[in-house]
Amino acid sequence: MEHACSHRVDHDLSNRPADKRAGFARWLASKDCTDCWKAARDADSASKEKWLAEKRAEELEAAATWAKQFDMPQLEGPAKALDWGERSRHQLMMAAHTALVVEGSWDAADWAELEEKARSISGVGRGRVTGVSTSPFPSAARPNRTCESPRIRLSTSPASADAGLRS
Ligand SMILES: [Zn+2]
């Protein structure tokens, strides 16, 4: 039988009901052979992994540049959590800046205060956070504000990375 990929493969269709054989053979012929199908699948997942690795590297580079520019401390913690911590800190602070200053009502002084709190965090992982609060962000909207401040908190555990940002 010749497959769509033009490879010839012998198939034993004797276990198929006679009246279904022709239809099954046509269906099989319209597909790539098993080897080609597997090769395509592997290439697909390999390129996804590569894409993800490149994206992570870019994010990490952006986070490192940002941390240097804003004088953020070198994070400490388990090696495998550090990259995650660097990226998360950067992304959270960027999101917070957009929500509170760019789109919100915070002024430069409010932001400077929050940035200072963020600087006091240097640990990654549970129980490694220094400072009084585990979050550098206010847990609720401040009074006397005309518009609502989004609630944003910094997660300190990789396990809750996706749940770290709430608005
Ligand atoms: Zn093939």
pLDDT in tens, 56-110: 999 999 999 999 999 999 899 888 889 999 999 999 999 999 999 999 999 999 9
39 is a domain residue: no
CA atoms within 13 A on the CB side of 43: 6
Range of the domain at 126: 53-160
| Segment (H or E) for 21 | helix 18-29
Degrees to nearest 5, angle at CA 90 with 93 and 51: 135
139 is a domain residue: yes
With CA atoms as reference, report the closest residue to 34 among 15, 8, 59: 8
48 is a domain residue: no
Q: How far is the CA of 13 from the centre of ligand 1 (A)?
A: 19
85 is a domain residue: yes
119 is a domain residue: yes
Distances (CA, A) of 132 to 13, 127, 128, 147: 71, 12, 12, 27
Q: How far is the CA of 47 from the centre of ligand 1 (A)?
A: 20
Q: How far is the CA of 26 from the centre of ligand 1 (A)?
A: 16
36 is a domain residue: no
Q: What is the pTM of this model?
A: 0.55
18 is a domain residue: no
Please state the rounded mean pLDDT for residues 34-44. Answer: 94
> pLDDT: is 8 or 165 the higher one?
8
Q: How far is the CA of 91 from the centre of ligand 1 (A)?
A: 44
60 is a domain residue: yes
Domain count, the chain: 1
Q: How far is the CA of 51 from the centre of ligand 1 (A)?
A: 26
Q: Which two tokens stand for residue 86?
A: 């660097």
Q: How far is the CA of 42 from the centre of ligand 1 (A)?
A: 14
